[in-house]
Amino acid sequence: MKKWLVLSLLFFVACAPLSLEQKEKIWGTHAPVIKRAFASYIVKPGRLWRVYLDIEDIDGDLDVLYVFIEQTGVGLYPPSCIKLPKEYGHALKGYFVLPIADDWTWGIKMKIEIFCKDKAGHKSKTIYFFLKVVYKRSKLLAVPAELNHYLGTIDIDVRAPLFDDGGYFGGFNWIWGN
């Protein structure tokens, strides 16, 4: 019995979360810094919205990129947490894409929040983008060559807003009144 008690205590101590001070000793004390971030404020339905990011961490322990989307008529989506590979520990330069559905998404507005955390738990400043889906050509952005590198997809399924009766905007139940 004592053997199991000692083993379970050792397991608990070995798996216990580290304090911030212990994490800072291992991974450093500097928080990630978002040096540049830009994106178009409009996108056409059925297209990919690109967000260009230049993030740096002096300690080299960039860990996770968090993306939150709040959409008018839908509310807050579950967050997209993008685990960054070790090769991006010191710097992340490139773009992520957000797929926009082609059906009944025109006119929707979204507020997009993005921030990054490192392995020590330090958080960068949060950046905000406001996006509208319209049938209008967006202006081409002047993208520096070092940021024209695909990094991944934001895993959030943007959808049409709901009506008060629970039917989707533009759905057949709404059109035919069923």
CA 39 – CA 32 distance, rounded (Å): 20
Residue 163: predicted pLDDT: 54
CB under 8 Å to 101, separation ≥6 — which residues?
Answer: 45, 46, 157, 158, 159, 160
Coil, strand or helix at 56:
strand
pTM, rounded to two decimals = 0.77
**How many CA atoms within 13 Å lie on the side-chain side of 131?**
28
Residue 169: predicted pLDDT: 47
Residue 176: predicted pLDDT: 42
Token code pair at residue 139: 């202006």
Residue 161: predicted pLDDT: 72
**How many CA atoms within 13 Å lie on the side-chain side of 70?**
6
Does an H or E element contain 125, and which? none
**For the chain, which residues score pLDDT lower than 50?**
10, 13, 164-178
Residue 27: predicted pLDDT: 67
Domains and CATH numbers, the chain: 27-137+144-176 (2.60.40.10)
Residue 30: predicted pLDDT: 87
